[in-house]
C-alpha cells in the first residue's frame, strides 16, 4: 500500500489549510443554545460558500467530488485548525450518504444543497423510550393518507432536535420487528419538541411527539417496508467512517501531548500512548478508505472502529482531567470530557458493538 499523498492531495491540503487559517472564528457559544446554534449555522454557510461543507459530495449538490482520502485530509486540517463542531453533522454525515445510495434524484436535489448550506439542519429520530439498542422494537407508525402518510409516535435522545428544522427516522408501516419499517423524512415544525438537558444543563437533545404529522410520498426514502436495510447502511456510515474521522482524535492527541509535556513521566507516557493510538486509528482508516474506494463494503468492521475511537476519546479526556486537576473547568477540556463519556453510548453502545464483533467477525457462537 502506497502511503504517500499525490500532488493533487497535497495541493488540496494546502488550499484547505490556507482557507481555514483565514476564516476559522474564535470559540463560538455552545450549539446547544439558540444563539450558539445560529452562530454554528452561519459558520456552515461560510464553509459552504467555499464548497468546503461537504467536500466529498458531487459538485451539483455543493461539494467538490473529493475522494475519501481527500475527505480524510480535509478532516485532519479542519480539526487541527480548531474549527467549530459541525452542527450539520447528522445530516451531512448520516442522512446524505443514505440519500446518495437510496434516495431519488428529486430528493437529492431538493435536500442536499440546502443541507450543505445549513438552510436545513437535520436531526436523527431513531431512538424511542423502549427502543434504543433494540431498535427493531420501535412502535412509531405511519398511516396511509391522501397523497402521503401521517406519522405518529414518540422519539427520544434526538441530538440538536431542540433547534433543528427536519428529522429522519423509521416508522412502522406494517409487520413486526425488522419487517415493515419505512424510512421517512419529516419537518419538525408540526412536531411537539421537548428539550432534554444534558450533563452540562444545556438542551443538547429533545424528545419528539408526532401526532399525525403529514408527509407527502416524496418524503419516503427507498421503498415502503425497506427501512431496516436502509437504516443499517446509515449505521455503517455512523460507526465506521464518516461521523468520527481520525482528524478529530489526532487533534485532541496533539493537544494532550502538549498538555503533558512537563507532567509526571507516568502520565506523559500515557499521553504518548494516546497519540500513537490516534495515529493507529488514522492508518486503519486509510486502509478502510482504500477498501471502500476499491468497491468493497465496510460491513461489521465498522463496529471495531467505533469501539476504538470512543474508548480512545474517553481515555484522552480522562487523562486531561487528571493533568489539569482543578484548572480543568477553565478550559474546553471539561466540555470535551463530558461529551466523551457519551461516546461509548451513541451510534450504538459498545456492548452491542462487541457482540457484533464477536458474532460476525470472530464467528463466536451466539
Ligand atoms: C450523546 C448522545 C447522542 C445521541 N443522539 C441520538 C440521536 O441523534 N438520535 C437518536 O435516535 N438517538 C440518539 N442517541 C441515543 C442512542 O442511540 C441510544 O442511547 C443508544 O442506542 C442506547 O439505547 P438506550 O439509551 O435506549 O439504552 P438501552 O438500549 O436501554 O441500553 C442500556 C444498557 O444496556 C446495554 N444493553 C442493551 N441491550 C444489550 C444486549 N443485547 N447485550 C448487552 N448489553 C445490552 C446497553 O449497552 C446499555 O449499556 C444519542 C445518545 C447519546 C448518549
Q: Are residues 41 and 72 in the same domain?
A: yes
Q: Calculate mean pLDDT across residues 323-339.
A: 95
Give me the DSSP letters along 71-90.
Answer: HHHHHHHHHHTTPPP-TTHI
CA 194 – ligand 1 centroid, Å: 19
Same domain membership, residue 249 and residue 215: no
Q: Are residues 66 and 139 in the same domain?
A: no
On whether both 250 and 357 belong to a single domain, the answer is yes
CA distance 127 to 125: 6
Mean pLDDT calculated for residue range 72-82: 97
pLDDT in tens, 170-201: 999 998 899 999 999 999 999 999 999 988 89
Give the active site residue among 44, 70, 77, 238.
Answer: 238
Per-residue pLDDT at 2: 72
The CATH number given to whatever domain includes residue 83 is 1.10.540.10
Query: What are the pLDDT digits (tens) for 141-174?
Result: 999 999 999 999 999 999 999 999 999 999 999 9
Claim to verify: residue 347 and residue 251 sit in the same structural domain:
yes
312 within some domain = yes
- Choosing from 226, 260, 282, the residue where a domain stops is 226
Q: How far is the CA of 75 from the centre of ligand 1 (A)?
A: 27
Q: Read off the DSSP letter of residue 92.
A: I
Look at residue 100 and tell me if it is in a domain: no
More confident residue, 292 or 216: 216
The response to whether residue 198 sits with its C-beta less than 6 Å from ligand 1 reads no
Residue 100 banded pLDDT, cuts 50, 70, 90: very high
pLDDT band at 37 (very low <50, low <70, confident <90, very high): very high
Residues 263 and 357 in one domain: yes
The answer to whether residue 236 is domain-embedded is no
Q: Does residue 203 share a domain with residue 166?
A: yes
Residue 99 lies in a domain: no
Q: Which residues pair with 326 in a beta bridge?
A: none
Check if 238 is active-site: yes
Same domain, 144 and 174: yes
Instruction: Say if residue 326 is in the same domain as residue 256.
Output: yes
Q: Is the domain of 310 the same as that of 348?
A: yes
- The residue behind cell 445549513 is 118
Residues 140 and 48 in one domain: no
Atom of ligand 1 lying closest to residue 123 CA:
8
pTM comes to 0.96
Instruction: Identify the residue whose C-alpha is closest to ligand 1 atom 17.
Output: 346
CA–CA separation, 17 and 11 (whole Å): 10
Average pLDDT over residues 325-337: 95
Of residues 354 and 238, which shows the higher confidence score?
A: 354
Range of 24's domain? 7-87
DSSP 194: E
Tell me what the mean pLDDT of segment 196-219 comes to: 94
In a domain, 83, yes or no: yes
| Residues 277 and 219 placed together within one structural domain of the fold | no
Q: Is 270 in the pocket of ligand 1 (CB under 6 A)?
A: no
pLDDT at 108: 98
pLDDT at 199: 86
Ligand 1 centroid vs 362 CA: distance in angstroms? 23
Q: What is the chain's mean pLDDT, rounded?
A: 95
φ and ψ at residue 41, rounded to 5 degrees: -65, -40
Residue 285: CB within 6 Å of ligand 1?
no
* pLDDT surpasses 80 at 241: no
Q: Is residue 263 part of a domain?
A: yes
Q: How many domains is the chain partitioned into structurally?
A: 3
Least confident of 125-129, 148-152, 288-292, 310-314: 288-292
Between CA 272 and CA 256 the distance in angstroms is: 9
pLDDT at position 242 is: 74
Q: Assess whether the C-beta atom of 126 lies below 6 angstroms from ligand 1.
A: yes
261 lies in some domain: yes
Indicate which CATH number applies to the domain containing 181: 2.40.110.10
- Residues 36/29, Cβ–Cβ less than 8 Å: yes
Ligand 1 nearest atom to the CA of residue 159, by list position = 8
Greater confidence (1 vs 210) lies with 210
Question: What is d(CA 143, CA 172) in angstroms, rounded to the nearest whole number?
Answer: 9
The stretch 272-284 carries a mean pLDDT of 97
Whether ligand 1 lies within 6 angstroms of the CB of 168 is answered as no
Nearest atom, ligand 1, residue 351 CA: 47
Distances (CA, A) of 15 to 76, 116, 235: 13, 19, 31
* Separation of CA 292 and ligand 1 centre (Å): 28
Last residue of a domain, one of 31, 61, 87: 87
The half-sphere exposure of 22 on its side-chain side, counting CA atoms within 13 A, is 8
279 belongs to a structural domain: yes
The whole-number pLDDT of residue 1 equals: 64
Average pLDDT over residues 98-119: 97
Give Cβ neighbours of residue 310 (< 8 Å, ≥ 6 apart): 244, 340, 343, 344, 347, 350
CATH of the domain at 261: 1.20.140.10
Distance CA 55, CA 38 (A): 22
Amino acid at each position: 500500500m502506497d502511503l504517500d499523498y499525490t500532488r493533487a492531495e497535497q495541493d488540496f491540503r494546502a488550499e484547505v489549510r490556507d482557507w481555514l487559517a483565514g476564516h476559522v472564528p474564535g470559540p463560538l457559544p455552545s450549539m446547544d443554545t439558540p444563539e450558539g446554534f445560529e452562530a454554528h449555522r452561519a459558520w456552515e454557510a461560510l464553509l459552504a460558500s467555499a464548497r468546503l461543507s461537504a467536500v466529498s459530495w458531487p459538485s451539483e449538490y455543493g461539494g467538490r467530488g473529493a475522494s475519501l482520502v481527500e475527505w480524510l485530509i480535509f478532516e485532519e486540517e479542519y480539526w487541527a485548525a480548531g474549527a467549530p463542531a459541525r452542527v450539520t453533522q447528522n445530516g451531512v454525515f448520516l442522512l446524505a450518504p443514505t440519500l446518495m445510495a437510496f434516495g431519488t434524484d428529486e430528493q437529492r436535489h431538493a435536500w442536499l444543497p440546502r443541507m450543505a448550506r445549513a438552510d436545513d439542519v437535520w436531526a436523527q429520530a431513531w431512538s424511542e423510550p423502549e427502543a434504543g439498542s433494540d431498535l427493531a422494537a420501535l412502535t412509531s407508525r405511519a398511516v396511509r393518507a391522501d397523497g402521503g402518510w401521517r406519522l405518529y409516535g414518540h422519539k427520544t435522545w434526538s441530538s440538536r432536535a431542540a433547534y433543528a428544522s427536519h428529522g429522519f427516522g423509521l416508522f412502522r408501516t406494517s409487520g413486526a420487528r425488522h419487517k415493515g419499517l419505512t424510512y421517512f423524512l419529516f419537518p419538525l415544525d408540526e412536531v411537539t419538541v421537548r428539550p432534554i438537558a444534558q450533563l452540562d444543563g444545556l438542551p443538547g437533545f429533545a424528545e419528539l411527539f408526532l401526532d399525525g404529522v403529514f408527509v407527502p410520498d416524496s418524503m419516503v426514502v427507498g421503498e415502503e417496508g425497506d427501512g431496516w436495510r436502509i437504516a443499517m447502511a446509515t449505521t455503517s456510515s455512523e460507526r465506521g467512517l464518516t461521523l468520527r474521522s481520525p482528524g478529530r482524535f489526532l487533534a485532541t492527541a496533539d493537544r494532550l501531548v502538549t498538555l503533558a509535556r512537563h507532567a509526571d513521566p507516568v502520565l506523559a507516557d500515557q499521553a504518548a500512548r494516546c497519540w500513537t493510538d490516534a495515529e493507529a486509528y488514522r492508518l486503519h482508516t486509510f486502509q478502510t478508505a482504500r477498501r471502500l474506494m476499491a468497491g468493497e463494503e465496510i460491513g461489521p468492521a465498522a463496529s471495531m472502529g467505533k469501539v476504538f475511537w470512543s474508548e480512545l476519546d474517553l481515555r484522552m479526556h480522562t487523562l486531561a482531567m487528571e493533568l489539569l486537576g482543578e484548572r480543568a473547568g477553565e478550559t474546553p477540556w471539561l466540555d470535551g470530557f463530558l461529551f466523551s463519556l457519551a461516546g461509548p453510548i451513541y451510534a450504538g453502545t459498545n456492548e452491542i458493538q462487541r457482540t457484533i464483533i464477536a458474532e460476525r467477525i470472530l464467528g463466536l457462537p451466539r
